[in-house]
Amino acid sequence: MLSISSSMHIVLCTDNRYVMPTGVLMQSIGQNNPASVHYHILVDEDFASDSREALADVARKFGGECSFYVISRSFTADLPFGKDGMPAHVSLATYYRLFLADVLPPDLHKVLYLDGDMIVRHSLQPLWDEPLDGYAIAAVPDMSAPNNAKRLGINDYFNAGTLLVNLDYWREHRSLDLFGDFLRMRGNEVVLHDQDVLNVVFANVVKRLPVTYNFQNGFILSHTHKQYNPSLQSEIDVCKTDPTIIHYTVYCKPWNIACFHPYRDEWRKYQRQTQWKDFRYEEPKPLKLIHYVRNWLFRHTSYVPMYDRMEYEKGLILAEN
């Protein structure tokens, strides 16, 4: 068993339909991080035993281990999930992040949370070593930060895909009670699920991380850069050819046939090295999602090569017919 003090502790939240992407993320972490990793995986009551074993196998392959924590339905029964206007690609498992301080071992002081639609391309040790004194979390700005901050009446807005979490702070300040208070008073304002909750509750105690640790689709888009301040724009430009963590945000998932994200093939490289190597890529579902990907990612970016633009258009034609 890995010791609490010597391991890097990574939290993942998943369910039965997200096992494969979670396993691919773990594969990418293992290949790029020689240090032992202890995964703390939060799941629902229906999580299958073979899914547990599959994820544990990936961890063991690189000398790591997994601990699983079941989140009861009673914990999530009153959460604002599935309302009109909320992102349809998000599962209830995203809310499990709110329970970290209450379900993880009390002698665990810090964890790194990662979303399942990511890959890790370099060492996470510099991120893990970031000091958190006085901060509840450390996070990267969201690709739509100005709009979301204005919507919630806060000064800035982070993306919760990568979170370095100070569990001691969460416990000392009874974070779960704070989350509950916010949901009772302002739950009708929640659009981006627990990410909205975390942003408001921790608005003044979040440490800003470099964008390399959560490189979102919107950072690739040339036409969205005008919303960022000059220093952030410069950081994005430097980072986009070699980010540490790729986050396949919104609908552009590399396990979908219609995805032509510039880092799609890198995700598929890791996928081919897992037990899900024969996974059949999913057909695009609503046609509007195909148009969403096209309009957001490939007709407005100066970064994607022309070859990929042409390949995308061919894929779009095939998907529409």
pLDDT digits (tens, 9 = 90+) for 190-220: 888 889 999 999 999 999 999 999 999 888 8
Instruction: Summarize the confidence of residues 279-305 as an average pLDDT.
Output: 57
Q: Tell me, what's the pLDDT at 266?
A: 97
pLDDT at 44 over 90: yes
Cβ atoms of residues 145 and 158 within 8 Å: yes
Pick from 55, 59, 61, 57: nearest CA to 21: 55
CA dist 43 and 13 (Å) reads 6
Domain 8-213 sits in CATH at 3.90.550.10
pLDDT at 3 over 60: no
Q: How is residue 294 written in tokens?
A: 């096209």
Q: DSSP string spanning 36-81?
A: -EEEEEEE-TT--HHHHHHHHHHHHHTT-EEEEEE--HHHHTTS--
Please provide the average confidence, as pLDDT, over all residues in the chain. 84
Q: Tell me, what's the pLDDT at 309?
A: 41
Q: How far apart are the first and last CA of the chain?
A: 53
Question: ∠ at Cα 162 (291, 222), nearest 5°?
Answer: 40
pLDDT at 165 over 80: yes
Q: Residue 259, class by beta-carbon neighbours within 10 Å (0-12 exposed, 13-18 middle, 19+ buried)?
A: buried
